Structure 1
Amino acid sequence: MRFIDEARVFVHAGKGGDGAIAFLREKYRPFGGPAGGNGGRGGSVIFQVDEGLSTLLDFKYQPRLIAKDGEGGRGKEQYGHGADDIVVRVPPGTIVFDEESGKTLADLVMPGDTAVIAQGGEGGRGNMHFASSTRRSPRIATPGTAGEQRWIRMELRLVAEAGLVGIPNAGKSTLLTALSAARPKIAAYPFTTLAPNIGRVSISNDESFTLADIPGLIEGAHKGLGLGIRFLRHIMRTRLIVYVLDAADDPASAFKTVHTEIAAFDPMLAERLAIVALNKIDLLDAPEVTKIARKLRKLTGLEVFPISADKSEKLAPLVAAIARMLHTMDQPAHVATEL
C-alpha cells in the first residue's frame, strides 16, 4: 500500500428538505386545515478514526464526499425522512484544515474519535406550524437550509510515543526491525525509507510503546530539501525523540545537522525530551566507542546508549531507558506545599 500523508477533498453536506404546504380534507371537516409536514435533515459528512488505517490513499481516488439531501415534507402532517450521514474512516493522526481560511477543523488522534466536517442542513417547516387563530389556512412553508460545503486539506501525522530521527543510513529502519515486528525496507543506500514506519516494542507482557522510524533528514530539510517538511512534521506527534547516530561516520556532526533542522522547523521540538542511540558500534573498537559516547554526552547533554542494531547488541538498556523516560512523562508533577 502506498503511503499518502496529504490529500485535498471537497466535502458537501446535504440540503435540508423543504417544508410542505398541504391541507387536510376529511369527512366532517369540510374546511380541513393546514397539514404540511417538515422537511428532513440533510446528511452530514463525519470523519471517524479507524486504527486499522495508516494512509490517506483512499482520498486520492475519492476527492469528493457528497451527502444526500433530506426529503421534503408531505401532507397529512408527515415529516420528510432525514438523509443518512456519510461516516468516513480516517487513520489516527489525521488533521483536517479548511482550505480557504486555514482553520483547523479537526485533529483526530484516538481510535473512535469523530468530527463533523460538513454539517447537514436543517429541514424546513411545513405550513402546519404557521396556523393561528387569525390565520387558519396559511400557505406558508420554509425551505430547508443548505448543507455546508468546503474544500478541505488533510494531513496525516503518525502517532507514536517515540520517534527515531537521524541522517540517511544511520540505521533507523534496522533498529526498528530489531526492536519490533515492523519490517521497513532496508538497503545500503540513502533514502531507502520513503515513508514513516511504525512498530510496537514490547517491554513485558503488560507494557509496550510505539516507535516510529522517520525518513532521513539532511541539511536544509526544513526548507524542503531531501524528504523535507513532508516528514519533519511527523516528529511533532512523538513524545520522545531518539537520535540515531552512526558511530563510524562523524556522529557529532550528524547530531548537529538533525537537531538544527528540527529546531528550524519548530523550535519547541528541539526542546522535546530526547535520547541518543549511538549505532554501529560493531564497526569500532570498544575504547573508541567509549570516547565517542563521552564526547556526545558533553555535546548534547543527553543520555547516550552505544548499540548495534544490525547485530542486536546492547538494545535492552536503550529500550529500558526509553520506557523509563516515557513512564516519567506520564507521572503527575508533584507540587510542594507550605505547611
Structure 2
Amino acid sequence: MSGLNLDDFINDIDRPDVAIRRDAEEWRATHGPRPGALGRLDDLGEWLTAAQGGVPAKPVAEPRLVLFAGDHGIAELDVSGRAAGTADALARAALDGRSATAILARRFGAGLRVVDMALDCDPESLPKDVTRHRVRRGSGRIDVEDALTAEEAEEAFRAGMAVADEEADSGTDLLLLGDLSVGGTTAAGAIVAALCGTDASVVTGRGGAGIDDLAWMRKCAAIRDALRRARPVLGDQLQLLATVGGADLTAMTGFLLQAAVRRTPVVLDGVVSAAAALVAQRVAFRAPDWWLAGQASGEPAQEKALDRIAIDPLLDHGVTTGEGAGALLALPFLQAAAELWADLPEHGDGAAEGPAEAAVDDIT
C-alpha cells in the first residue's frame, strides 16, 4: 500500500502515563472510602486519570459515539437478519433520532456521528457530512472476491484516521465506537478466525439482528470460504482488511490507531469494533491500553477477539442490538468513575469515612 506505513504506529503510540497512574493510586489512597471499596470504579478511575494525563481525573465532558456505516456483499447470501443493502435504513434511523442508539445517546449526553464508508444507497440521499468519506457503494462479497481494492483500503484507513483527528481536535474526551452494517458480523468473524487461528464454526454467531439455524449454517460456510482467502495475507494487516474486511472495518481500524496516537480513550461496542481492534493490536501492541470494551454482546467472535486483546467487557446484560448500544450503556459507569475520582474528599473529612470508622469514632 503506497504512502501508508503501518509500522509508524509502533513508534507513534505510547501507553497512558505510568507515572500518572502511580500518582493516581497515591491520590486514591488518601481520598474517599478505602481503596478497592468502589470495585471496578476504582480501576476505571485510575485508567481515566492516566489517559487524561492529570491527577485527579476530570469529569467526562464531551463523549461522542462514532458509527461507521457500510453494506457488505456477503449479505447477499442471506447470512443476516436484515436484507442485503439496507444498512442505510439504520443510518437514517440514527440520524433522525429514532433508533435505540440515538435515544440512549440523548439520555446520556453523548454526541452521535454517522460516517458512511460503503452504504449501498445513493449518496445524495444522506447529508454530505455523513457521506464525504465514502469509499465505495457496498463492500465486495468476501467469500469469492476482495472486499476492497488496495487503493480503497488505504483510502478507508486514512478516512478513519481523519475522523479520529477531527474528534480529538474538536475536544471530544471519550470516544465510543460502533458500526451500522448489514453483513458486518460475517466479515468480523472471518477476521477474528484468521487472526486467532480458529475454525469458522468457533466464531460464527447470530448477529445483532438474530438469525435462524439455516442462516447460521450459511454464515458459517461464508466465513469458512472467506477464511481460506484470508490466510495467505495474514502478514499484511491492511491487505487482510481489503481481502475479507470492508470499508467500515478498515476505517474503524485506522480510527482506533489514530485515537491512540492522539491519546484519546475509546470504548468498543460489539463484534465488529472488536475485530477492528484485534487488527489494530497486530499493528501496534500498545494501542489497546487506550481502549475499553463496553459490553459482552454474546457473539463468540467478540469474546475470542477481546480475550486475545486481554480486555474484559464492563457489562454483560444480553444486549445484542449492536449499533453502538453496548458502548453507550457503559458510558454512565465511566462517567460515575470520572466524577468520583474528580471529587472524592480527603480522608479526615467526615464525608470520606466509612461506617466502620464512623462507629469507632462514636464509641470513643
TM-score strictly above 0.5: no
TM-score (norm 2): 0.30
Task: Determine which structure has the larger strand proportion and give its number.
Answer: 1
Q: TM-score, with normalisation over the residues of structure 1? A: 0.32
Give the number of the structure whose alpha-carbon radius of gyration is greater: 1
The structure, 1 or 2, with the larger RCO (C-alpha pairs under 8 Å, 6+ apart) is 2
